[in-house]
Amino acid sequence: MKIIDKASWQIDAGISKNIVLQHFKNIFSWLNSKNMLTQEGIEDLEFGIDESVSLNERNINFQALAFFESEYDEYLRFIDYGNDNNALELEKLYIEYESIQK
């Protein structure tokens, strides 16, 4: 299984659990607004994001997986972890990524 990021990796690396969970909530909410979550991803979001969540090929669709495989590290460089509250930076990066893909 392809895994882009796991909450537990970030928590184990010393990032505050609250910040990590907010980061994943922001991403899952953005993905949901773009219809890029699978049913499993929707359930993750609906049941509540916790420290066991991961961003992986089972909870995001192919389009999201390709985007994150290409751009997730770049996204993390743009933001302070957990501080892209309304996913504006993620949206900007996605628009740029989409324009290159066409």
The pLDDT tens digits of the residues spanning 13-39 come to 999 999 999 999 999 999 999 999 999
Beta strands in the chain (DSSP E): 3-6, 54-56
- 55 pLDDT exceeds 90? yes
Kindly indicate the confidence band of residue 72, based on its pLDDT and cuts at 50, 70 and 90: very high
Number of domains in the chain: 1
Q: 45, 90, 47, 27: which is closest to 19 by C-alpha?
A: 27
Task: Quote the domain boundaries for residue 93.
Answer: 3-101
Which whole number is the average pLDDT over 53-75? 96
Query: Which one-letter DSSP state was computed for residue 50?
Result: -
